[in-house]
């Protein structure tokens, strides 16, 4: 009698899971030794940019909302956007997956596919990771980028600089609002929450154009520009009229009784990039939305049309 193929992670086992993730991986530039040993060995000149990001089931995603493919894409996108925000080129990543033994293998296989798809979009190469058992699915991604110049930090914005954006804002927050009400439409908003569209390559573009500061918009534009303002010792004033409110955001706002600008200014998880540039230096594809100013008596802060926006500034995991 033929042995029945496993259908859960527990049936597959730890080493079977490792084999699933490493099967068919091709060589990635600059990787001397990939998965299969105690650690990966990388070769490369210049600076390395390293960051890590964790996604927890029930906090960052829900399996009744997200497919494995969408979760895999989101895990790479959320971590990789931090490399973009430093102006670096995506290079390699490692993934640690903690999951219950009864996790269906179909979900795991689609998760693996999603990871590889977002790696293809971004330029990252999967070179290793770890697996362990847990009550809920938890994904920890460590990303490594390569930098052939100076990093773009949060601390370089100067009075007179232009604030500009690349990528979408508010779509993921609108999608979350829809899902929280038990709906899955408008599909474009839901898709943005489940698998965000990072503007891959825009970080390097901004650095080469002379960006003075940059940040990944993961927790909301006001909150993340607040990090830039404090690190740079400046004030930032945004022009509300410079933001385009997409029809999908207006639709969700009307259905949920919210101001669509709340999604745009305080919604996180789209992983757009916000950067500051000298006047006349904003590169193609970036949208100017405000100015950097000298701080007033209230110190570094972010305003919209000259006033502090009432309500929350963005997401705070422990707020």
Q: Which of 150, 130, 133 is nearest to 141 (CA)?
A: 130
16 near 105, Cβ under 8 Å? no
Asked if residue 148 belongs to a known ligand binding site, the reply is no
Asked if residue 134 belongs to a known ligand binding site, the reply is no
275 phi-psi bin (left φ>0, alpha ψ -120 to 50, beta other): beta
Asked if residue 309 belongs to a known ligand binding site, the reply is no
Q: What is the 3-state secondary structure (H, E, C) of 5-52?
A: CCCEHHHHCHHHHHHHHHCCCCCCCCEEECECECCCEECCCCEEEEEE
Asked if residue 279 belongs to a known ligand binding site, the reply is no
Q: What is the pLDDT of residue 45?
A: 67
What domains, with CATH codes, occur in the chain? 12-147 (3.30.1330.10), 162-304 (3.90.650.10)
Tokens 């693996």 found at: 112
C-alpha to C-alpha distances, 236 to 231, 265, 294, nearest whole angstrom: 12, 13, 8
CA 131 vs. chain centroid, Å, equals 22
Helix (H, G, I), strand (E, B) or coil at 101: coil
Query: Across the beta sheet with 162-166, what order do the strands follow?
Result: 213-217, 272-277, 162-166, 287-293, 235-238, 302-304
Asked if residue 64 belongs to a known ligand binding site, the reply is no
Asked if residue 38 belongs to a known ligand binding site, the reply is yes
Asked if residue 89 belongs to a known ligand binding site, the reply is no
Residue 227: CA atoms inside 13 Å, Cβ hemisphere, count? 18
Q: Which of 48, 132, 59 is nearest to 92 (CA)?
A: 48
Question: At 142, phi and psi to the nearest 5?
Answer: -110, 125
pLDDT tens-digit profile, the chain (319 residues): 566 888 898 898 867 887 888 887 778 888 877 776 555 677 776 788 899 899 999 999 999 999 999 999 999 999 999 999 999 999 999 999 999 999 999 999 999 999 999 999 999 999 999 999 999 999 999 999 998 889 999 999 999 999 999 999 999 999 999 999 999 999 999 999 999 999 999 999 999 999 999 999 999 999 999 999 999 999 999 999 999 999 999 999 999 999 999 999 999 999 999 999 999 999 999 999 999 999 999 999 999 999 999 877 776 654 5
């Amino acid at each position: 009698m033929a042995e029945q193929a496993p259908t859960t992670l527990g049936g597959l086992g730890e080493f079977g899971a490792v084999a699933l993730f490493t099967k068919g991986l091709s060589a990635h530039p600059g990787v001397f030794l990939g998965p299969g040993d105690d650690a990966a060995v990388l070769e490369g000149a210049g600076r390395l940019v390293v960051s890590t990001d964790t996604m927890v089931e029930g906090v960052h995603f829900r399996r009744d909302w997200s497919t494995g493919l969408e979760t895999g894409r989101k895990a790479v996108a959320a971590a990789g956007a931090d490399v973009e925000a430093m102006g670096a080129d995506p290079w390699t990543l490692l993934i640690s997956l903690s999951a219950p033994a009864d996790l269906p293998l179909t979900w795991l296989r689609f998760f693996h596919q999603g990871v590889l798809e977002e790696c293809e979009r971004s330029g990252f190469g999967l070179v290793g990771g770890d697996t362990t058992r847990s009550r809920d699915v938890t994904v920890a991604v460590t990303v490594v980028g390569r930098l052939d110049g100076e990093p773009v930090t949060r601390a370089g914005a100067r009075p007179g600089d232009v604030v500009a954006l690349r990528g979408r804002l508010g779509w993921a927050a609108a999608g979350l609002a829809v899902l929280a009400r038990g709906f899955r439409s408008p599909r474009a908003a839901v898709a943005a929450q489940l698998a965000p569209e990072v503007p891959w390559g825009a970080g390097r573009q901004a650095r080469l154009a002379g960006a003075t500061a940059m940040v990944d918009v993961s927790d909301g534009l006001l909150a993340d520009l607040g990090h830039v303002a404090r690190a740079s010792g400046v004030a930032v004033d945004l022009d509300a009229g410079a933001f385009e409110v997409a029809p999908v955001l207006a639709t969700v706002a009307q259905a949920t009784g919210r101001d669509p600008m709340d999604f745009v200014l305080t919604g996180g998880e789209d992983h757009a990039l916000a950067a500051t540039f000298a006047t006349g230096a904003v590169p193609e594809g970036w949208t100017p939305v405000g100015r950097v100013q000298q701080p007033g008596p209230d110190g570094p802060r972010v305003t919209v049309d000259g006033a502090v926006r009432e309500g929350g500034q963005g997401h705070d995991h422990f707020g």
